[in-house]
Structure 1
């Protein structure tokens, strides 16, 4: 039988001992199941996903659940980057172990069991050291971290200091409100469209903003400025946003109206 390890929150340990591992994760193609990794001679490689999973929080730390699966159990195997491309292969559990064990560098590889794990298949549940493995991606240590909106982890340890130290040219952190308002004023009347769109782009990264100083842009002659205004203020909790969006919903430009409708359907 093939032996795999599944990493999960310590708070789940009593339930797993009693009822097994639930099929709570989504794999390639939206299938529900359980992620795991073969038990290899290298302890570090076996538990390589531990630090990455710990980044997303766990109650009481993480534990290692050792599972015994039939050799002919069908699983998905591949690198985590293959999942979004639908390139993970469907093989038997024994073949998944063979493929991963034969790799020169198996970091970033994963096995997905497309079903729940029965209690009889749980071999043991034990504590695991919380320092093994890589974070973000293999070989990330020593590489300059990316602070773009897609890569950064909101609320992560040191995330704010990292963004301030390595600001992204498009994704911030945004300049202070007073600086942005000065740029809006310097753009003139009715205002340079490019300068106004750039300032509104940065305003859109805030949770609140000076709505009263920006409402005049709802009548700007350039429809792209009015559309950017919609995206900038739609998520604000500032009083008056709903009324402004209601006015822009009747804008003569269809792109502006579509922007308002999109913000309403996404909320």
Structure 2
């Protein structure tokens, strides 16, 4: 007979996410929105290590892609939980949660390593959410310091860095609003809707009333993403719609 959750051996991990998701995660857990190898969905995290800097080392790099501020979600998984572990960009190993902790702790330099849990994290598995310094960790790549600048590792604000990045690694172009709205109208599941909402959050998009129908969407992730997207919209319609979403969230 398996041990109850409170008695089983457990492994501690940290998941980094934006501060605006903290309240939702404390109440509902972490949705399996990330894509791992072989297109499995789940949650990325890092073992809790003796070093504060190494435990939260992904903060600075993640802020390059998702803004911030970020918070740390501490979670606890059974030792036997199936996960994968490896350095980003390389095929990970399939291990248990306890083995993943041992693998990362044994590394001379664990920067850039990550653990992937191929499922959602339940609210009961979340121990706490804490603030973390926003400048902790590495940026561009773990060993970027001291290397000749290039499009992927040149420090922001350096001489002609923007021109270098745009020439060698052009920023992705967001589709026009008309194209995004057409995609939104034909979206068939929550993930497609969320992807379009992320793109709509880039720049000023005008009439927020066009998105009002999504406030009644049954998937809470869609509603939370909509509320975040509306921060890029101006005017009383956007404000009222955000207030309506906040009220629904409080009631739900």
What is the CA–CA distance in structure 2 between the aligned matches of 1:124 and 1:79, rounded to whole Å?
26
Compute the displacement of 1:152 (Å): 7.8
The 5 A counterparts of 1:174-253 are: none
Deviations 1:130-164 (A, max 9, x none): 011000111112212222xxx489xx954893044
Rounded Cα–Cα distance in structure 1 between residues aligned with 2:36 and 2:107: 22
Matched, 1:121 2:125: yes
Match of 1:161 in 2: 160
Structure 2 residue runs of 5 or longer lacking an equivalent are 1-9, 174-252
Structure 1 residues 53, 171: closer, same or farther in 2, change over 3 A?
A: closer
Change (3 A) 1:13 1:94: same
C-alpha offsets along residues 43-83 of structure 1, whole Å, 9 cap, x if unaligned? 00001101000111334x0000000000000001001021x
The unaligned stretches of length 5 or more in structure 1 are 174-204, 206-267
- State whether structure 2 residue 33 is matched by structure 1 residue 29: no
The residue aligned with 1:68 is 76
Q: Is the 8 A contact 2:112 2:141 kept in 1?
A: yes
Q: RMSD of the alignment, in Å?
A: 2.6
Q: Give the counterpart of 2:88 among 64, 80, 87.
A: 80
Q: Is the 8 A contact 1:163 1:172 kept in 2?
A: no
Tell me the equivalent position of 2:19. 10
Deviations 1:2-48 (A, max 9, x none): 00000000000000000000111001111110000000000000011
Q: CA contact under 8 A between 1:18 and 1:119: conserved in structure 2?
A: yes
SS at match of 1:117: coil
**Which one has the largest radius of gyration?**
1
Match among 107, 111, 115 for residue 111 of structure 1:
115
* Partner in structure 1 of residue 185 of structure 2: none
1:98 deviation in Å? 0.5
Question: Structure 1 pair 125/158, CA: closer, same or farther in 2 (3 Å)?
Answer: same
Aligned residues: 162
Using the alignment, how far apart are the partners of 2:134 and 2:165 within structure 1? 30
Does residue 53 (structure 1) correspond to residue 62 (structure 2)? The answer is yes
TM-score (norm 2): 0.59
Aligned pair in 2 of structure 1 residues 17, 28: CA closer, same or farther (>3 Å)?
same
**1:42 — aligned with what?**
51
